[in-house]
Amino acid sequence: MKSTFVRAIVLTLTVAGLAAPSMTSAKTVAPSKTATTSFSGYPTPLCMPGTGNYCGMQ
Amino acid sequence: MSNVLWLRDVSIAECAMSFCVAAIFIYKRVWGKFSLLFALIALRALSGAILIPLLFFRKDLGISLPVAYNTYFITAWISGAAQTLLLIGVIYHVYHEAMRPLQGLQRIGKIIFRWVAVVSLAVSLAFAAGPHTSTITFASFATAIAPQVQQGVFVLTLCLLLFVCLAIRPLGLTFRSRIFGVALGLGVTATTFLVQAAWLATVGAQSLYSPIYLVGTVGTLVSVCIWGAYFTLPEPERKMILLPTTSPFFTWNRISEALGDEPGYVAIAGFKPQMLAAAELKVLSSAAHKVDRLPASSQSAEDILSRSAANQRVAVSQ
């Protein structure tokens, strides 16, 4: 029973993770207009330093 | 409570939890055995200690916006690259530890892992440098390659978790084993980051304070808690592995053990006695003398055995 429960959780995690990237319905922007990404776990900026664009940093 | 405050509080909780789990690793003396995971957690804690004050407390600290942004930019990218490399190392280590009893499968899996890593990297680089980018800037290159590499690593993580979960008994593990705990934590991180990745190319990711980053931060917090729990509780000993002879694990492990072995060689034709060394000739001649001295009864027994074997071969061929 316990192992079935753990297996169900793992299967849900796997299916959700694999399916997620292709399931967005939000408005997308061109790659050149993307301002941030998540590379380090924390929000990672893509605006080059010295351009005066701080990716919304307050 | 606004999204920014939620993001701030969850990030602080995650950073504090990472420091606690790193301390647990040192206290329990497991940081040597799981050195890559310890390095990953410590790196997350340290990068959080730098990035969180810059992101949320810059004005209170009196740091100018350009200085704060430049520091944040460099730290986030270095930390991200190091974390991705460490994550690949942790996946490799988990696989290596999980497959320790099945040496043959472990060896062949390691070879496949290396090939997949090289091919994935090559495909990601080719995609990033493809003709879709008219002017190659850091942002366009990073936007193209970073999500590709990261998503590839996370898909690999989920496959590893699924494999460890489904093959847990043949591997002699239980759901309380640390190997499974590490894989589960990695799986939670991978799932939440892949869910978050769905919004990275949208207008929702235009700010560093976007609520979409809550998904990944909560996922990291949960995975750090999972690692903390697994490394705080005592680990059950690895079970004795009893596999049926018909088990595919047993069969494929034996096949994998034989793969890549140095083969033996048989002289079919063109052999001359001069090719033998003096010591080999001596051994052969002494063996020939022993055969000559065999009693007639044992020779007849050998004849009987060879005849019966020949008869069996004829019966099988018919």
d(CA B316, nearest CA chain A) in Å = 47
Whole-number pLDDT of residue B23: 96
Whole-number pLDDT of residue B316: 47
Closest chain A residue to the Cα of B79, Cα to Cα: A40
Residue B202 to residue A14, Cβ atoms within 8 A = no
**Highest mean pLDDT: which of A36-40, B59-63, B208-212?**
B59-63
Average pLDDT for residues B17-37, to the nearest whole number? 94
* A4 at interface of B, judged by CB pairs closer than 8 A: no
Spell out which residues of chain A touch residue B44, defining contact as CB-CB under 8 Å. Answer: 41
pTM given for the model: 0.77
For residue B136, pLDDT over 50 is answered with: yes
Whole-number pLDDT of residue B37: 95
Comparison of pLDDT for B301 and B284, the residue scoring more: B284
Average pLDDT for residues B106-129, to the nearest whole number? 78
pLDDT tens digits for A31-58? 656 677 777 678 888 888 888 888 888 8
Question: Which of these ranges, A20-34, B34-48, B269-283, has the smallest mean pLDDT?
Answer: A20-34
DSSP string computed for chain B: --HHHHHHHHHHHHHHHHHHHHHHHHHTT-TTTTHHHHHHHHHHHHHHHHHHHHHHSHHHHT--HHHHHHHHHHHHHHHHHHHHHHHHHHHHHHHHHHTTT-HHHHHHHHHHHHHHHHHHHHHHHHHHTSTT-SS--HHHHHHHHHHHHHHHHHHHHHHHHHHHHHTTTTTT--TTSHHHHHHHHHHHHHHHHHHHHTTTTBGGGSSTT-TTHHHHHHHHHHHHHHHHHHHHSPPPPPPPP---TT-HHHHHHHHHHHTTPPPP----S---GGGS-HHHHHHHHHHHHHHHTS-HHHHHHHHHHHHHHHHHHHHHH-
Comparison of pLDDT for B224 and A29, the residue scoring more: B224
For residue B21, pLDDT over 80 is answered with: yes
d(CA B166, nearest CA chain A) in Å = 8
Percent of chain B with pLDDT over 70: 85
How far apart (Å, rounded) are the C-alpha atoms in residues B36 and B186?
13
Domains of chain B: 3-256 (1.20.1070), 276-317 (no CATH)
For residue B318, pLDDT over 50 is answered with: no
Average pLDDT for residues B54-73, to the nearest whole number? 92
ipTM of this predicted structure: 0.80
pLDDT tens digits for B235-276? 888 878 788 888 888 888 888 877 766 777 887 888 777 788
Reported as type and span, the H/E element at residue A36 is strand A36-38
Comparison of pLDDT for B142 and B244, the residue scoring more: B244
Average pLDDT for residues B211-221, to the nearest whole number? 90
